[in-house]
Amino acid sequence: MDIDFVRSRFIKHFDGSTGSVYTSPGRINLIGEHTDYNGGFVFPGAIDKGMIAELKINGTNKVRAYSIDMKDYVEFGLNEEDAPRTSWARYIFGVCREIIKRGGKIAGFNTAFAGDVPLGAGMSSSAALESTYAYALNDMFNCGIDKFELAKIGQATEHNYCGVMCGIMDQFASIFGKAEHLIRLDCRSLEYQYFPFDPQGYRLVLLDSVVKHELASSAYNDRRKSCENVVAAIQKRHPHVEFLRDADMAMLDEVKAEISAEDYMRAEYVIGEVQRVLDVCDALERGDYETVGQKMYETHHGMSKLYEVSCEELDFLNDIAKACGVTGSRVMGGGFGGCTINLVKNELYDAFVEKAKVEYKNKYGRLPKVYDVVISDGARKLC
């Protein structure tokens, strides 16, 4: 994404003047899927794709916002009743309101923004947008809000203004991202730790299946319920178990007769996944990317066969990765469509991507989208 391009649009729409330019990235999650609501760990990293926005205080009580990608202009006030109807503008409005609720003083500003985070590919374009404005407004208006609270402002924007009850991972990764590092975030305590991720001789590539299956939200709720059912059963014997993160396979086996086969399978996946995140952290500290890759394949198998949130297309892409000798591959995100994330040796990269394109098109009649990603820094001011 080009600062000069965003600036040229800002100048064109706002009387030839310039402001300050800020950016925040999208994110990937290397491993740790469906662990967040089970009190476990996630393991995201910021990527080299994100949002760039230029902002300038305009001396009024109105925000004048231009979406370069949508070619759309919206103006709104800063009071609760001024909420815009346009969905992209609600993200900016929500961030303003959440800062004001926390005692931040914000006035009107002009802004234009654009992004290169692919929409709908599970790289959190909305979190990148929220984090860009949270970081920028905090900086411009000297609100003195810490980075943790900036991530929570993005999350609260989703909850209160966009109708999405998301966790904290996406905004956290966008604000706290660090080049050549992944972040292990404990979803219960919100403690975090950086781990080195600089895989010399490997590349990270996402293959987007370009499908989104409709059952995602109801299936997500069903799986949360399964996890809660198992915790309730285990708690009768082990009162300290608050989340599946606190349980182990021995505890799960103790209650096998008291829960459904389906609930057992769901819990087996989660308990395994919580441990896999810790195993991957250990492997990265040793620089052992082969073990990292093996754990990614184990996660895909669990998401496909135990948690049942994969789909035929994602399983197909995972099988191609295996056949090509790719080090690690798994479905990334909630499932039922979206991308696989693949850790690929440099010398296998071209053959893998070509084979995936050809075979996927032959089977499904369309090409998968290919996104190379590099682990990069979080929210910051550019100029």
Residues 329-338: tens digit of each pLDDT: 999 988 888 9
* Residue 301 to residue 166: CA distance in whole angstroms: 25
Chain segment 279-310, per-residue pLDDT in tens: 999 999 999 999 999 999 999 999 999 999 99
Does one domain contain both 277 and 324?
yes
Which bin fits 107, alpha (ψ -120 to 50), beta or left (φ > 0)?
A: beta
Q: What is the dihedral of CA 57, 58, 64, 66, to 10 degrees?
A: -60
Does one domain contain both 326 and 228?
yes
Does one domain contain both 206 and 78?
no
The two tokens of residue 378 are 């979080």
In which element (H, E) is residue 182 found?
Answer: strand 181-186
Residue-averaged pLDDT of the chain? 95
Does one domain contain both 182 and 219?
no
The two tokens of residue 329 are 């591959």
Does one domain contain both 130 and 163?
yes
Does one domain contain both 143 and 263?
no
CB atoms under 10 Å from CB of 372, counted, come to 14
CB atoms under 10 Å from CB of 224, counted, come to 14
Which bin fits 243, alpha (ψ -120 to 50), beta or left (φ > 0)?
A: beta
Where in the sequence numbering do the catalytic residues fall? 170
The two tokens of residue 246 are 């606190």
The two tokens of residue 348 are 């296998």
Number of residues in the chain: 383
For 206, the 3-state DSSP assignment is strand
What is the rounded average pLDDT of the residues 50-71?
Answer: 97
Predicted confidence at residue 34, as pLDDT, reads 93
By the 8 A CB rule, do 30 and 296 touch? Answer: yes
Banded pLDDT at 165 (limits 50, 70, 90): confident
Whether 1 has a pLDDT exceeding 80, the answer reads: no
Place of tokens 């000297």: 142
Does one domain contain both 30 and 169?
yes
Whether 192 has a pLDDT exceeding 80, the answer reads: yes
Supply the CATH number for residue 36's domain.
3.30.230.10
Predicted confidence at residue 119, as pLDDT, reads 74
Predicted confidence at residue 215, as pLDDT, reads 59
* Residue 270 to residue 276: CA distance in whole angstroms: 10
What is the rounded average pLDDT of the residues 187-192?
Answer: 94
DSSP bridge partners of 44: 29
Most distant CA pair in the chain: distance in Å?
71
Helices (H), the chain: 3-13, 87-101, 125-140, 147-161, 169-176, 216-235, 249-254, 261-286, 289-301, 312-323, 346-364
For 179, the 3-state DSSP assignment is coil
Predicted confidence at residue 177, as pLDDT, reads 98
Highest mean pLDDT range out of 137-151, 159-173, 324-338?
137-151
Place of tokens 């330019």: 21
The percent of residues in the chain predicted with pLDDT above 70, rounded, is: 99
Does one domain contain both 288 and 315?
yes
Query: Among the listed ranges 96-100, 123-127, 379-383, which one has the minimum average pLDDT value?
Result: 123-127
Chain segment 256-282, per-residue pLDDT in tens: 999 999 999 999 999 999 999 999 999
Predicted confidence at residue 264, as pLDDT, reads 98
Whether 380 has a pLDDT exceeding 70, the answer reads: yes
Supply the CATH number for residue 353's domain.
3.30.70.890
Predicted confidence at residue 214, as pLDDT, reads 63
Does one domain contain both 337 and 352?
yes
By the 8 A CB rule, do 243 and 13 touch? Answer: no
Chain segment 198-224, per-residue pLDDT in tens: 999 999 999 999 988 765 678 888 999
pTM to 2 decimals?
0.92
CB atoms under 10 Å from CB of 100, counted, come to 16
Predicted confidence at residue 216, as pLDDT, reads 61
Does one domain contain both 33 and 66?
yes
Does one domain contain both 280 and 293?
yes
* Residue 136 to residue 100: CA distance in whole angstroms: 14
Predicted confidence at residue 122, as pLDDT, reads 80
Query: Total domain count for the chain?
Result: 2
Place of tokens 């815009």: 84
Q: Which residues contact 269 (CB under 8 A, 6 or more apart)?
A: 34, 302, 303, 306, 307
Does one domain contain both 161 and 51?
yes
Q: Find the domain containing 92 and state its range.
A: 3-197+377-381
- How far is C-alpha 124 from the chain's CA centre? 5
What is the rounded average pLDDT of the residues 62-84?
Answer: 98
Predicted confidence at residue 179, as pLDDT, reads 97
For 16, the 3-state DSSP assignment is coil
